Amino acid sequence: MLNYRANFHPGSRDSFDLQFGFNRDVQGVGFVDKNPSAVNPLNLNPSSTNGNTPHDLVANSGYAQFDWIRVLENEDELRLRYYHLQRNQHETFNVYLSGNFIPDPLRQTARAGRDEIEVQHTLSPMADNRLVYGAAWRQDRINAQLQAPFPVAVIARDFNLRSDEWRVFAHDEWRPLDALLVNAGAMYERDRMDNANFSPRAALNLHVARHHTLRAGVSLAYRTPAVVEEFTPSPLEAPGDLWVPARFATAPDLKPERMFSRELGYLGEFPEWNGVIDLRLFSDQLRNGIYASKLSQKFINGAAIQVRGFELTFKIKPDRDGELVLNAAHILARSNSAQLFATGESAFRPVEPAKFNDLTTGSIPRNSGSVLYSRRMRDGWSVSGAFYYQDGLQPFDRPQVDFQHAQHRTDVRAAKTFHDSGDLHGEVALVVQNLFDSGLTEYVANNVFERRVFATLAVRW
């Protein structure tokens, strides 16, 4: 992994910022418990099919971003941003078909690219008002291939898609009173499926006393269906982890998901002990949720989910060089999954009906929290440690054997800054994740998060 960032100021009014980076990732994927084998205690079915045997999924990705900022009169600002993203993935693996091992491997590749241009103007039409407005255009490109031997696939599949979408937006910040700040904005977008979405939002911040602020907010947002949801391959034509989309849209009538969010919050600053308390109460309601329908063999709208709860952050600096951060969250979720299961949608079958009749309720950890302590030391040294906790959960689309019990993890980090006599400076760090090797699992029971040790280097000039 490599990331680079440079900033250039040719004059007092212009600023140029360049960022780019590259990353290569090799991820172990697939399932061994579906292989047909009489000696495999996880699967005694000799005629089963496993279209996703253990193998490596290789991903090479890179990005580049260029920003230009021009400072205008009265501290107004004009910003232009260009962003490019490229991601290439491939996988090669064998499969079992009706109990038979297919010796010739399958190969799947996917290449995705994105280009986006955004222009934004910030101005202050009045002393107590600040306005931001702008527009953006984005183009996405996807090219994917499936090469598979007969009888796994009758013919190879090749998919190409180029799509464009655009948006305009505006946001206003108004302070009618010294103790009251009003934020309001909206975005209008036309997505690649030619859906027109209008997304408003508003928020109030009231300073009820010095160092104490109450806030309230409401917003409406939309999510455009993903390409793989619109161009869904049939289950028999979707081996491996890379879904190569179907040649033609199988769900052209999909609608964007709709998210309505509300929140109340409190921010308290306590200078006497260098502490900050940030409390947030929230409620998110999803409508037109998209899910994979077993009845229609494609993605459709129809899921409805409500998630509500609170998040609490407590920060304190016991002295100049140390900081302690505590985070806690409590989340409750409910959905119409029981009703969808009653109509015959087997994907919403509750794993433990006596405990959770609503599959969504059991798939979200009810309680979670973390503790982070960091400290700066002499000669550029710093150390930090973090502890994370999460309640048990049942992954949404996995069997009971993949139930994740309550988990905890401890990470530590030691770093040393350096600089020469010129402008070169940076940091080298040693990181240990899951210090006590507590046997964490992620999504699948045999996907164990073991202790990880790695070093990082950051250089600036």
The C-alpha R_g of the chain, in whole angstroms, comes to 26
Confidence grade of residue 241 (pLDDT, cut at 50, 70, 90)? confident
Residue 387 C-alpha from the chain's centroid? 22
Confidence grade of residue 35 (pLDDT, cut at 50, 70, 90)? low
Give pLDDT, residue 419.
85
Give pLDDT, residue 41.
40
pLDDT, average across residues 271-287: 96
Tell me: cis bond preceding 225? Omega within 30 of 0 counts: no
Q: Is the pLDDT confidence value at 1 over 90? A: no
Instruction: Find the range with the poorest average confidence among 115-119, 137-141, 234-238, 398-402.
Output: 234-238
Q: Could you give the CA distance from residue 135 to residue 16 in angstroms, rounded to a whole number?
A: 20
Residue of higher predicted confidence among 33 and 426: 426
The neighbour count for residue 7, using CB atoms within 10 Å, is 10
Residue of higher predicted confidence among 426 and 99: 426
Give tens-digit pLDDT for 300-323.
Answer: 999 999 999 999 999 999 998 999
Per the structure, how many domains does the chain have? 1
Give tens-digit pLDDT for 61-82.
Answer: 999 999 999 999 888 999 999 9
Q: Is the pLDDT confidence value at 45 over 60? A: no
Give tens-digit pLDDT for 176-217.
Answer: 999 999 999 999 999 999 999 999 999 999 999 999 999 999
Q: For 127-228, where are the E strands, in sequence order?
A: 129-147, 157-177, 180-190, 196-209, 212-223
DSSP 42-53: T---TT--BS--
Give pLDDT, residue 47.
55
Give pLDDT, residue 116.
98
Give tens-digit pLDDT for 330-382.
Answer: 999 999 998 999 999 888 888 776 567 788 888 899 999 999 999 999 889 99
Confidence grade of residue 388 (pLDDT, cut at 50, 70, 90)? very high
Give pLDDT, residue 39.
41
CATH number at residue 405: 2.40.170.20
- CB distance 322 to 373 below 8 Å: yes
Residue 130, token pair as written in the block: 């600040």
Q: Could you give the CA distance from residue 27 to residue 48 in angstroms, rounded to a whole number?
A: 25
Q: Is the pLDDT confidence value at 263 over 70? A: yes
pLDDT, average across residues 241-258: 89
Confidence grade of residue 44 (pLDDT, cut at 50, 70, 90)? very low
Mean pLDDT (the chain) is: 89
Give pLDDT, residue 393.
87
**What are the Cα distances from residue 340, in Å, to 234, 345, 356?**
21, 6, 15
* Degrees, nearest 5: CA angle 92-94-97: 140
pLDDT, average across residues 166-183: 96
Instruction: Find the range with the poorest average confidence among 22-31, 115-124, 418-427.
Output: 418-427
> Structural domain of residue 22, as residue ranges?
2-460
The residue whose two tokens read 């508003």 is 202
Give pLDDT, residue 390.
95
